[in-house]
Structure 1
Amino acid sequence: MRLLFLGDVVGRSGRAALLETLPKLRERYAADFVVVNGENSAGGFGISEVILTELLDAGADVVTTGNHIWDQREALVFIERYDRLLRPVNFPAGTPGKGAGLFKAANGADVLVVNALGRVFMSDLDDPFRAVEDELAACGLKLGADAILIDFHAEATSEKQAMAHFVDGRATAVIGTHTHVPTADEQVLNGGTAYISDAGMCGDFDSVLGMDKEEPISRFLTKIASRRFAPSKGAATVCGVGIEVDDATGLARAIAPIRLGGRLSQAEPAFWLEEA
């Protein structure tokens, strides 16, 4: 099985690049299942219903989110109508929507996707480790799911690495999101779980984390907010990872970065291109 994950979509530039690129990537890589983190897709803050349907129509099987999930207040309502939109699983009981789901891949496999939010330097939600453990206990690898992908939306790399080792051998992949900067630590852990600290963003990297540079720089210099952050509108790089899954075990055989367009160095999974 081939899993494709694309990182935080930021603003109009990132959204346009993702919508143009994703259908081509699904075909180019023969991807069986695609997850996109869309929590910054609406002007850099949250996700709207219109944008959600655009991402799904472009080829995303599931859209995950993070700490900005409720920035667009309409999400509190429309999330109940879309099983394929996830919010972090460790929000308190009674929060609209759901944080995990079992979805059908193009090859017929059942893929469990879990979206969790870290707590270090973030909002103090319920324990993400126990929340993820509950989901794995309810639908384990090869005991209910053919593959398990966890989007861990967190600030601290230590917390992300701890989560990956916590589920190593019990999940196909733990993909870090939130910091918008792609890391170079993609690897398959000892137990067979693919991991990267951050998949990066789909956005303009001539920016500060996808935002126009002037306001963030001003705030660092003056400690005063003069206006709202606004997404940068330059050419976007589409960032993510490709994961090759062993169908017999549900564990990862390989993981590789994806960086296409924009100003970053370009990268694609060689193990997929060689087979094309």
Structure 2
Amino acid sequence: MKILFIGDIFGSIGRDMINDYLHRLVNDLKIDFVIANVENTSHGKGLLKRHYDELSFCGIQAMTMGNHTFDKKELYDYIDEADKLVVPINQPKVLPGVKTRVFDVKGKKIRVTNVLGVAFMDSRYSNPFEAIDEYLDLKQDIHIIDFHGEATSEKIAFAHYVKDKASAVLGTHTHVQTADEKIIDGKLAFISDAGMTGPYMSAIGCDLDSIVKRLKGSSAPFIVAKSSGQLSGVVMTFENNSPIKIERILINQDHPYL
């Protein structure tokens, strides 16, 4: 079983990269199941219905979210019908959405769960270490957790916490791919951040000049960068429901896909 997890899809350039490369990756790497973090898909924040449909058509089979889940209010209108979408388990309880889903893939039950970190994040979120407990003894063959958080230390500690009961903890949110992919204790595939699929020459997807102005004290708006694209993620290989390999995927002008 080979599972491709794609890091945060950001704006139209991220969607273009999915259109350009996903089919090739699935065919070339013999991918069985595709998961992507999609909370930045629509103009950098949130997910519009037409973009949910576009990504579904491209072949993304499960979609995780994050702190921008409900930035596009249209989500409230279609979330009950979005059968690929997984929202964070520890978002405020008043918010709707399915927090964990099981997908049937080639006779295997793959569970996908979404978790929000709290270190340097919104204080409304409940403790992920406590929230995950009720999801660790559910039935499935493979359990993939998207940990959407700011701090690498929190992600590493979380992976250690769940390593005996989950199959993978894949970090998202920082939009910068880390080089610490590993199989922990032969049980759990891990990376601190899978990276971003969006504008390559940017500050985590945003226009560099606008970010510099903000950092110098201006109230300049966040602007989605216009540049060439990149696609980031990881491919995991499972045997007998256990991870045996995790490899980074990075495609951009400096790392062309051959």
Instruction: Judge same fold: TM > 0.5, yes or no.
Output: yes
**TM-score normalised per structure 1:** 0.89
Unmatched segments (≥5 aa) in structure 1: 269-276
- Asked if residue 126 in structure 1 is aligned to residue 126 in structure 2, the reply is yes
How many angstroms apart in 1 are the aligned matches of 2:237 and 2:163? Answer: 16
Q: How far apart in 1 are the matches of 2:182 and 2:257?
A: 15
Structure in which a larger fraction of residues adopt strand: 2
Taking a change above 3 Å as real, the CA distance of residues 185 and 251 of structure 1, as seen in their structure-2 partners, is same
Contact 1:215 1:225 in 2 (8 A): no
What is the identity, as a one-letter code, of the residue corresponding to 1:119? V
What's 1:187 paired with? Answer: 182
Per-residue deviation, residues 76-124 of structure 1 (Å, max 9, x unmatched): 221111121111111233421111111112x221100000100011112
* Equivalence for 1:65: 65
Post-superposition shift, 1:191? 4.4
Q: What is the alpha-carbon distance in structure 2 between the residues aligned to residue 147 and residue 220 of structure 1? A: 42
Q: Does residue 257 in structure 1 map to residue 241 in structure 2? A: no
Code of the residue aligned with 1:224 in structure 2: it is S
- Tell me how far apart the structure 1 counterparts of residues 127 and 253 of structure 2 sit (CA, whole Å): 37
Q: CA deviation at 1:205?
A: 2.1
Contact 1:7 1:36 survives alignment (8 Å): yes
Q: How does 1:210-225 map to 2 (within 5 A)?
A: 210-221=205-216, 223-225=217-219
Q: Which amino acid aligns with 2:30?
A: A
Q: Distance in 1 between matches of 2:253 and 2:74?
A: 31
CA distance in 2: counterparts of 1:243 and 1:114, whole angstroms: 16
Distance in 2, matches of 1:267 and 1:241, equals 14
Give the structure 2 partner of residue 110 of structure 1.
Answer: 109
Partner secondary structure for residue 21 of structure 1: helix
Q: Is the CA contact (8 Å cut-off) linking 2:10 and 2:198 kept in structure 1? A: yes
Q: CA deviation at 1:262?
A: 3.1
User: 1:75 Cα deviation (Å)?
Assistant: 1.0
Output the aligned Cα RMSD: 1.4
Number of residue pairs matched?
Answer: 257
What corresponds to 1:85 in structure 2? 85
Query: 1:237 Cα shift?
Result: 1.0
2:223 pairs with 208, 226, 230, which one? 230
**Alpha-carbon contact 1:3-1:242 (below 8 Å) kept:** yes
Runs (5+) with no aligned partner, structure 2: none
Contact 1:258 1:266 in 2 (8 A): no
Q: Say whether residues 1:243 and 2:243 are aligned partners.
A: no
Partner residue of 1:177?
172
Q: Whole-Å Cα distance in 2 between the matches of residues 179 and 47 of structure 1? A: 18
1:14 aligns to what SS in structure 2?
A: helix
Q: 1:72 corresponds to which letter in structure 2?
A: K
Q: For the residues of structure 2 that align with 1:157 and 1:174, how far apart are their CA atoms?
A: 12
1:13 is paired with a residue of what secondary structure?
Answer: helix
Q: TM-score, normalised by structure 2?
A: 0.95
Structure 1: distance between partners of 2:171 and 2:164: 17
